Amino acid sequence: MKSITSIIIVSLLMFSCTQKNPLDEILNSDKEQIKRVMQSVEKHEVQILYSQIDRDENGKVIFTDYEFNVADSTYFYPASSVKFPIALIALEKLNELQKNRISIDRKKLFIIQSDTLYTNIEKEITKIFAVSDNQAYNRLFEFLGQDYIDQKLKSKNLQGRISHRLSVLNAHNLKTQSIVFKKNVEDSTFLYQQESIENSPPVRLSLKKISKGKGYIDNDTLIEQPKDFSEKNYLPLRSLHGMMKRIQFPETCQKEERFDIAKKDRDFVLKAMQTLPSDAGYDKKEYYDGYVKFFMFGDTKEDIPEHIKIYNKVGYAYGYLTDCAYIKDTKNNIEFILSATIHVNENGIFNDDHYEYDNIGIPFLATLGRSIYNLEKQQNK
Confidence of residue 380 (pLDDT cuts 50, 70, 90): confident
pLDDT per residue as tens digits for the range 126-173:
999 999 999 999 999 999 999 999 999 999 999 999 999 999 999 999
Q: Residue 18's pLDDT is what?
A: 53
pTM, rounded to two decimals: 0.94
Q: Residue 158's pLDDT is what?
A: 98
Q: Is residue 91 part of a domain?
A: yes
The mean pLDDT of the chain is 94
> Residue 244 belongs to what H/E stretch?
helix 237-248
Q: Is residue 8 part of a domain?
A: no
Q: Domain total for the chain?
A: 1
Name the residue range of residue 272's domain: 22-380
Confidence of residue 381 (pLDDT cuts 50, 70, 90): low
Which amino acid makes up residue 47?
Q
Q: Is residue 3 part of a domain?
A: no
Q: Is residue 4 part of a domain?
A: no
Q: What is the mean pLDDT of residues 188-192?
A: 93
pLDDT for residue 307 is more than 60: yes
As a residue count, the chain comes to 381
* 233: β partners: none
For position 48, which CATH number holds? 3.40.710.10
Q: What is the DSSP letter of 221?
A: E
* 340: β partners: 48, 323
Q: Residue 187's pLDDT is what?
A: 87
Q: 130 and 87 in contact (C-beta within 8 Å)?
A: no
Q: Residue 6's pLDDT is what?
A: 42
